[in-house]
Structure 1
């Protein structure tokens, strides 16, 4: 398992958060795609509920990966809005990062 991703890394990763959301992070193509509640949430997040976020399921332009470390919330700067105002998306704590490209593991 990968413990941390940096903005200058390459490859594709599946990042799972404490609420059960999963992010397909492609650092080579500079995209992020979120799937809401793809896995069961951690027990301490059972009462949080599910949040549908703008453009869930779509591949979004990743402008900067500020922080993505197991045990801490990830912070992604994304191009989501049509008016090109940048969006900072902060996740619940990251519980798992899996390299999807064998050479990146």
Structure 2
């Protein structure tokens, strides 16, 4: 059983687990399935907007696929959430990614 299958099996018990869904999205990125990864990151953020790590990875995915404006919007939303939650490290990573695209 590969990692994707293992994560899907674990999600059968708790489909709302943001950590497991995030891990699955990252596995989709590694497998080159950007569409599934993006859909999953968006679902995570819709259900749990405080899951700050998904903003960065969704933005990077959009950036890699040429949608820089969408990536900037995601980074900015993530920066707002990170600031609200007091997650300075996440805020700094999101800000750096955003500034790279804006300049």
TM-score, length-normalised on structure 2?
0.28
Higher strand share: 1
TM-score, length basis structure 1: 0.28
Tell me which structure has the larger Cα radius of gyration: 2
Higher helix share: 2
Higher-RCO chain (CA-CA 8 Å, sequence separation at least 6) = 1
